[in-house]
Amino acid sequence: MRLKRICPVIVAALALPALGACGDSAESGKADGGEIELSFSQWWEVELPEGVLRGVMDDFEKQNPGVKVKLISNPYAETMKTEIAAAATGTMADVVAINGESVYDLKEQGAIVNLSELMTQANYDPSELMSNDQIDGNTYMVRALNFTYPMYFNTDLLAQAGYTEVPSNWSEFTEAAKAVTDEQANTYAWSMPISVESPAGFDPEAWLWASGGRYLDNRQPAFTTPEVKAEFEFLLQQYKDKLITPGAFTQQEQDKVEEFTQGRNAFMIGSLAHINGIRTSNPDLNFSIGAVPAQDGYEGKRGIAGASWGLGVADNSEHKAEAWKLIEYLLSTEVNSKLATEAIGFPGNRNSTPGYVEGDPLFQQAFDLYQASELAMEFEALPKLTDLRRNLNENLVKMLQEEQTVEETQEALQTYWSEALG
């Protein structure tokens, strides 16, 4: 077999900070002493090293006397659920962390404001942004950070199974996956969270994207292609062979990280944002990162899943100008560089430079992979995306439980997504 040489790096398990409050209305905008209190709902504090985000808020408060920031911090899935509920009742936090999955629906609900107007009022130059995605000619979300989702390799488990190199295609991956899986020891090749309740992550999709395939063609569904069929057949066989951690249908993204962290999974498709937290908890765990294995015979440019940490302002906020001021601060060159460095992401400000590459082999590896790959973000800003991703997971569950065939799964997805996207 022709495999890539592993570059082992010692890292550690992701610490799980205590959950913050589940939600907070922007209408409570006065702190003690008549100060303005901005509420900021996000998942960032959970994924950043302890104290980083709070420290950024403290610095913002020092530069803006009379304004205080209350952080509302929860894991990603809980943040999304909370914000969806708050949007329906007009009780969102002043500043909300959002992404391409939620921005369209929140805009259609009237839950978030037109940031183009706030930029104009604040004399902000949007050319500073790496990307300025718009809906109907206006900006409703700005990207603070962009992330990639490579594959993590537990080099200890691979070495124990006799592998010194990582798999580069599906056949090699399957062979290695079978070698590392030991049901008696509760060790499995990988986890694939496909929760219907809280769809998150890119575990099924990443295999298609790595092989040059896409679910959409010109933003219309293309589920009936041979590439999608091959991917679904691959996932089905992985499940039948019991190479995937049990409980996939209810597992959450954080559960997957924990499985890998504790050495119970040999592989994980995950955000680079996990790296710093991983290094805090389990220094005995050796792992590397690399491209998600591609379909056998594929020689093109690898696709890699991408996502963003975006920001929006709630329509129900009583302090929209101050809310934008906080966003502008987070996008400023120095602060954005710091956030990118700490989160292991790529800056939203085109003048910012992350400081994590120099002197660290793992981060250099991640940066090289990013430059060599094509960022796959085909779901960004689709209408009803949460519902569409839930439908994808629902059909994958039926397929894995053999309630419908691969072909029936493709047709069901094509029909539902075609109707939803018009």
For 371-412, what is each residue's pLDDT tens digit? 788 888 898 878 888 899 999 999 999 999 999 999 999 999
Per DSSP (E only), the strands in 85-212 are: 95-98, 142-149, 151-154, 165-166
How confident is the model at residue 30, as a pLDDT?
60
User: How far is the CA of 75 from the CAs of 96, 143, 333, in angstroms?
Assistant: 14, 19, 27
Distances (CA, A) of 360 to 86, 364, 365: 41, 6, 9
Structure tokens at 276: 């710093």
CA 91/CA 25 separation, integer angstroms:
4
As beta bridge partners, residue 216 has 221
Find out whether 244 and 191 touch, Cβ atoms under 8 Å.
yes
What is the pTM assigned to this prediction? 0.75
Whether 32-146+309-360 and 4-12+148-305+366-421 are alike in CATH topology: the answer is yes
pLDDT at 284 over 60: yes
Residue 4 has pLDDT above 70, yes or no: no
Question: Which band of pLDDT confidence, cut at 50, 70 and 90, is reported for residue 20?
Answer: very low
> Which superfamily does CATH assign the domain made up of 4-12+148-305+366-421 to?
Periplasmic binding protein-like II (3.40.190.10)
What element of type H or E holds 366? helix 361-372
In this prediction, residues 410-418 reach a mean pLDDT of 98
The CA distance from 313 to 330, in Å, is 13
**Mean pLDDT on 19-36:** 56
Query: What is the rounded distance in angstroms from the CA atom of residue 295 to the CA atom of residue 231?
Result: 8
Q: What residues does 187 pair with on adjacent strands?
A: 182
**Which residues 6+ apart lie within 8 Å of 20 measured at CB?**
45, 71, 72, 73, 74
The pLDDT score that the predictor gives to residue 29 is 61
Position of tokens 């996000």? 42
Model confidence at 130, in pLDDT bands (50, 70, 90)? Answer: confident
The CATH topology of domain 32-146+309-360 is D-Maltodextrin-Binding Protein; domain 2 (3.40.190)
Residue 22 buriedness (CB in 10 A; 0-12 / 13-18 / 19+): middle
133 has pLDDT over 50: yes
Q: Is the dihedral of CA 53, 43, 377, 400 positive or negative?
A: positive
In 3-state terms, what secondary structure has residue 152? strand
Q: Give me the amino acid identity at 123.
A: N
Nearest CA to 170 out of 1, 6, 362 is that of 1
Strand partners, 313: 95
User: In this model, does residue 19 exceed pLDDT 50?
Assistant: no
Q: Pick the range with the lowest mean pLDDT from 223-232, 234-243, 277-286.
A: 277-286
pLDDT at position 357, please? 67
Average pLDDT over every residue of 146-151: 91
Q: Which has the minimum average pLDDT: 13-22, 31-40, 285-294?
A: 13-22
Q: How confident is the model at residue 2 (pLDDT cuts 50, 70, 90)?
A: very low
Per DSSP, the three-state class of 309 is: strand
So where are the chain's domains? 4-12+148-305+366-421, 32-146+309-360
